[in-house]
Structure 1
Amino acid sequence: MKKIIFPLLLIGGLSVSCDKNFDIAQVIKKRSELYKKQTKLITNDDTFDVKFNPVTPKYKLETREIVETFYHNRINRGGFWGQFLVAKNGEIIFEDYQGYANYQNKEKINDSTPMHVASVGKVITGVTILRLVNEGKLSLDQKVNTILTGFPYDDITVRLLLNHRSGLPYYGNFTAKPGVWDTKKTLTNKDVLNLLETKGIKLDFRPNTRFTYSNTNYVVLALIVEQVTKKSFQEAMKTLILEPLKMHNTFVLDNLENKENLTQSYHANNQRMHWDYLDGTYGDKNIYTTARDMLKLDKALYSDNFISKALKAEMYKGYSYEKSGANNYGLAIRMVEPKDDNGNLYTFHNGWWRGNRTSYVTLRKDTITIICFNNHNSQMAYKTKELAPRLGNYPFIQIND
């Protein structure tokens, strides 16, 4: 049997030293056993489980080397606190956990530490809405004011909230204006709706004429979920997504009384970031999850039982072409569309709230998932984009070695 030398590799307690020769068959066998264990962790309800082709040990080993090298060169370069995971066909290829959930208490981040995923939470909010559409309880083109009866804008639909074409201004901007809101008081979702109804807040533009990213859209979507289901957003999300997908470490922060018990947000110098009046809304943010739980959701999105094929076609297509360029936005997902079919569609969502900088990449043509959550204000989370062309056909994404 041919012997080869590997660089130092670590995975879930299995280490391979660069100082000795190893039998590659034994290395693959040991890793295969561990991968089987990891795969069980992301198995969904049978109704929504997807049967992918098995990932070969050779692919796992070769891809892991690519991913791990990238991770240490581009992301985990000192100061990274958080979770990093790459999977193929729902199977974990590589994962790593660094830093502190609470630096003061020296509580470390691990694979079950729920993290504030900032705007990556919009994907979860959007999927909650799509699940209701899938069940016939809501329509994408239903006007919002037929659901939230006091909503003052006639031409805004559920779809226009999902794809940021509603024209609703960001609540952080209009609440900062004199006489609109007392910024010493925490703003809630219901407060945002009440201000839209009573303060004569003007739209930034006529609905469905252009794209402008606004957190207000997803605050309203969370309210729609509550109105349609007659449950709290947390309970509705639990019924529609979390329980069937066994996402046991995912929840909505809808009550700030418990904020001290959560994973905290930090500056790069390890100083904790403070909360303020904008930290009370949810749907746009304030969803806590883990990389492994997010992988469960990603896997379910390949199931036509979870979201219909037709509805997913609506989700993963661009809606905004007023400006030239490859960047676009679907329903709760960002994308880069290749020109002239030169490469595969790149779909993702980034997040940033306080020190929480996050990235979720779903390469659907390749059934590859890349997840990076961090709470240490590190922009390295956004480097995940550079991993895509190393793993698939994405020539339009620049690689910086």
Structure 2
Amino acid sequence: MIFIKKTNILQLLLLLLVLSSCNQKNKKGVLSDAELPKDTLPHMEPPANQLPKLTTQYINSKKNNIEHFYNKTWPNSSMNGSFLVAKNGQIIFEKYEGMANFRDKTPITATTPLHLASVSKILTASAVLKLIDAKKIGLDQKVNTIITNFPFPDVTVKTLLNHRSGMRNYAYFTDKKDGVWDRHDILSNKDIVHLMATKEIGLESRTDARFSYCNTNYAVLALIIEKVTGLSYKKAMERMIFKPLEMNHTYVFDYEKDKDTAVTSYKGNKVEIGKDYLDAVYGDKNIYSTPRDLLKFELARNSPNFLSPNLLKLVYTPFSNEHKGQKNYGLGIRMINWETGQNFYFHNGWWHGNTSSYITLLKENVTIIALSNKFTTKTYQVRKLAPLFGDYPFKLGKDDKEE
């Protein structure tokens, strides 16, 4: 009898363990990090081969020019942020100055994660592209076949990536004083879709009719990542990008957990900018990182095993040609296409007091990154360094605010 009772107890414990495992999905329907086997998700990989090593003479010649530009742009150590220039994955020049928090005098260092603002879109797009390449979703797949309550039947994954969905910016339609949203409540990505589906928030323009840069596109892409992977956006980005590339100082901002510990954002006069009801939305923003981590990401993104050749070509294809001009957008990347055939690929960001610039000179294997948590448009001027490495005819004014 004693043996039978012990067996029953063991069986009961085993049953409870199984039930607990089956219930690992939280109330949002997202799997725990341990539940999904690691080999079921595509992930970015570090490049297999190192690029040619730079000579000391080359590094010194470029470093002097970059340092001159830096001192002229941010005289008297006036930068409050992080700055890096690298070629072939080798850092030529980097600088970290100012304060992560002026109240407690916490300095910005090489390991201080700063808010990437809209540069986050490049990372979100990269995760989506990996899922497309793995055939877990289709580039031309309708969004409403993935997110069932999504209200716009013609919007595809592609039109989200290249900002041609025609959707309205959630920051604008939730800011209305007509009861669409109570700004005392924190807005979520799922709230955005629910509002568009239930509050008669129509399209701003017909889908795929024109380019219109819109943060809503990337908030929805983050939901697609969650739906396809079964993980939260935060966990999916960790699994697919951050951990494989050893981006150890990069994370997705969690409003409840990180609002009091993340690097503070400031106006240009050092007045602190607090959080608001839009700060919990992710995908379009809310990744914190460092230039060195972004350099690891950039090297992986430019390696042959990032994407299949056909899909990679589409990433750098200008999709908005209804109006003649040099500026355009691919799949998660801005571009300037000159008539000479030269192309410039980049993304800027601006959220609260955070400004960011991410530049990839593909032909020259050069990466330029600038991040600041104290508002300044000087962050965007780092594109002026591109002519040091190739034929890039820039004439950028001091007040350039392109985001």
* Paired position in structure 2 for 1:350: 348
Amino acid at match of 1:272: E
Matched with 1:380 is 378
Residue 72 of structure 1 aligns with which residue? 71
Structure 1's consecutive aligned runs of 4 or more residues displaced over 4 angstroms after TM superposition are 44-47
1:352-367 pair list within 5 angstroms: 352-367=350-365
Q: How far is 1:78 from its partner?
A: 4.9
Aligned runs of 1:189-338 on 2, under 5 Å? 189-338=189-338
Closer/same/farther in 2, CA of residues 76 and 251 from structure 1, 3 Å limit:
farther
Q: Compute the RMSD of aligned alpha carbons.
A: 1.7
Q: What 5-or-longer segments of structure 1 have no aligned partner?
A: 1-43
- Which residue of structure 1 aligns with residue 172 of structure 2? 173
User: CA–CA distance in 1 between the matches of 2:142 and 2:45?
Assistant: 34
C-alpha contact 2:45 2:306 (8 A) present in aligned 1: no
Structure 1 residue 330, shift from structure 2 partner: 0.6
Aligned pairs, number: 355
Q: CA deviation digits over 1:285-340, x for unaligned, max 9?
A: 11101101111111111112122222221111110011221000011110000113
Give the structure 2 partner of residue 81 of structure 1: 80
Q: TM-score, normalised by structure 2?
A: 0.85
| 1:238-296 Cα distance to aligned partner (Å, 9 max, x none) | 11111111111111113334211111101122111121111110001111011011111
The answer for the alignment partner of 1:130 in structure 2 is: 129
Q: State which drifts further: 116-125 or 271-280.
A: 271-280
Q: Measured at CA, do residues 258 and 47 of structure 1 come closer, stay the same or move farther in structure 2, by a change above 3 Å?
A: closer
Structure 1 residue 146 displacement after superposition? 0.6
* 8 Å Cα contact 1:50-1:299 kept in structure 2: no
- Comparing 384-393 with 229-238, which one deviates more in the overlay? 384-393
* Inter-CA distance 165–75: structure 2 relative to 1 (3 Å threshold): farther
CA contact (8 A) 2:170 2:215 kept: yes
Deviations 1:27-47 (A, max 9, x none): xxxxxxxxxxxxxxxxx9876
Equivalent-residue separation in structure 2 for 1:275 and 1:302 (angstroms): 35
In structure 2, do the counterparts of structure 1 residues 215 and 77 end up closer, same or farther at CA, with 3 Å as the change threshold? farther
Q: Distance in 2 between matches of 1:156 and 1:62?
A: 49
Change over 3 Å in CA distance of 1:326–1:160 after alignment to 2: same
Structure 2 gaps of 5+ residues are 1-42, 399-403
- The 1-side partners of 2:198 and 2:307 are apart by 36
* Distance verdict in 2 for CA 1:77–1:362, change over 3 Å: farther
Question: How much does 1:186 deviate?
Answer: 1.0
SS at match of 1:288: strand
Q: Aligned residues: percent identity?
A: 45
How far residue 76 of structure 1 moved from its aligned partner, in angstroms, is: 5.0
Larger Cα-atom Rg: 2
